[in-house]
Amino acid sequence: MTETLPWGTSIAWYLFLAGLAAGAYATSALASFKDFRNTKRLQLIGRIVALVVLAVGLVLLMFDASAGMKNPGRFFYLVSNPTSVMSWGVVILAIFGVIIIVTLIIMLLKKAVPVWLDAIGLLLAFCTAGYTGVLIGVVKTYPFWNTALLPVLFVVSAFSAGMAAVFLGSAFFARKEVEGLGALKRLRLFLPIAETLLIIMLLLVTASANPAAAESVHRLIAGDLALPFWLGLVVIGLAFPFLLELVTIRVKAGSTGAAAIDVAGGAGVLVGGFLLRYLIIFAAVPLVFVL
Amino acid sequence: MASYGMLIDTTKCVGCYACRVACQMQNSLHVTDSFIHYDEVEKGTFPNVRNEHVPLACMQCKDAPCVSVCPTGASYINADGVVLVNSERCIGCKYCMNACPYHARIQDQDTGVAEKCRFCILADDGSVPDPACVSTCITGARIFGDLSDPNSDISLAIIKKNAKPIAGDLTASKVYYVR
């Protein structure tokens, strides 16, 4: 049964951009905890990226909700249903958005962002990235989505993408500051491994869940989505940035070489981050009950 | 306080699609939109086979996924157990269309609202007429009525024909099938 899916490319972009915003903010907040003085531009980049991509994502989401676009007042109803993950998401995003803006203003005023504020922001970044996974994770119609692993995978991928975006921006505007991050930078070796393991777990667990989910897995690894899965997600999005980081681990931070690595590897991670959401959305195969 | 439900006897269905047309007329739907769709299943082994038509629409679930995911509260269950959409609140986010395992929802081309079968409740003026799909069915394959009344035609037919929801207890559906 091939049906057109209710959610498509713009939702995939939104899930990616919301996660990216969460990851960029988290990177910025962690940099602030680690070394507040010497990573100011980098932190600023993280918060600006977070704000811009979150705004773009929300605009995409609103345009996808056509009845709301025709009657914008209806968007105020969005927090009406406490059982809807989308309602939770709106609350989370509203608070997260305010925190991004407030911390950005504090930084632009050349003042120190209070640690407690960034700690709350970090929690909301986590919730934002997690909710994008729960949002589609609770949908029973598509068994491939209906797993608790999905939010975990989305959180890891969001952090990875956000960090990549901050390093990418810093390569142009705050090259020297990357040094100040120390061990935080090494997460770029750990995150692709964690993400790869989570993807393997997701495929193995859902493939055995039921026939519809098994078909989703098949479409990804050997079916119509195999090319973007293997070449786009696995090679460009995971293996390339990881190997690049691995072979250049001794390149001195702040050098032109390190900046080029941040740009190339970061671009790969971002491509992978988007494709992960895109592929999961489009690999959805509905439950079959009329047999 | 009723609990409206429907029985669909696919052994009586001849696959004429009159229910879909009647529904489209009643609800003023575009010719390409409909609240009813059909699955076709081959039954039996050669040479004793038949093509079973399974008309599907909103199952009027008691545990309705569309209602639990709807962020604006546009989807709700009324006092008589009918799942309805308040088109003044719907933003067209399509979360319900994802959540419904029966693919019972469609997005109105003009308004963007996620619509679905409403048991023709809009025609309700105090009396409770049969929905258009029921009154139009040439073989009487559909029965509409109050499940909370043990003596209603539908309650008796469900017991007599051993009718069951299409997907077991997936969503506590109130549409029963004889297959």
| A133, A152 Cβ separation under 8 angstroms | yes
Residues in chain A closer than 8 A to B114 (CB atoms) = 67
Which tokens is A23 given? 């990851």
> Residue B25 — pLDDT band, cuts 50, 70, 90?
very high
Q: Give me the domains of chain A, ranges plus CATH numbers.
A: 9-282 (1.20.1630.10)
> What is the pLDDT averaged over residues A98-110?
96
Q: Which of B95, B107, B170 sits opposite A86 (nearest CB)?
A: B95
ipTM: 0.92
| A50, A159 Cβ separation under 8 angstroms | no
Q: Give me the domains of chain B, ranges plus CATH numbers.
A: 4-178 (3.30.70.20)
Residues in chain A closer than 8 A to B57 (CB atoms) = none
Mutate to test the interface with B, among A71, A281, A287 (most CBs of B within 10 A): A71
Q: Tokens 């599907």 appear where?
A: B56
pLDDT tens digits, one per residue of A113-168: 999 999 999 999 999 999 999 999 999 999 999 999 999 999 999 999 999 999 99
Q: Residues of B49-79 as b/e, b for ≥16 C-beta within 10 angstroms?
A: eeebbbbbbbbbbbebbbbbbbbbbbbbbee
Query: How much is the pTM?
Result: 0.94
The Cβ-side half-sphere exposure at A232, using a 13 Å CA radius, reads 17
A165, containing H or E segment = helix A149-173
A142 and chain B in contact, CB less than 8 A: yes
C-alpha span between B24 and B35 (Å, rounded): 8
Residues in chain A closer than 8 A to B92 (CB atoms) = 65-69
Amino acid identity, residue A261?
I
A79 and chain B in contact, CB less than 8 A: yes
Q: Does residue B156 surpass a pLDDT of 60?
A: yes
Could you write out the DSSP letters of every residue in B108-149? -TTT--EE---TTGGG-SSS-PPPHHHHH-TT--EEEEETT-
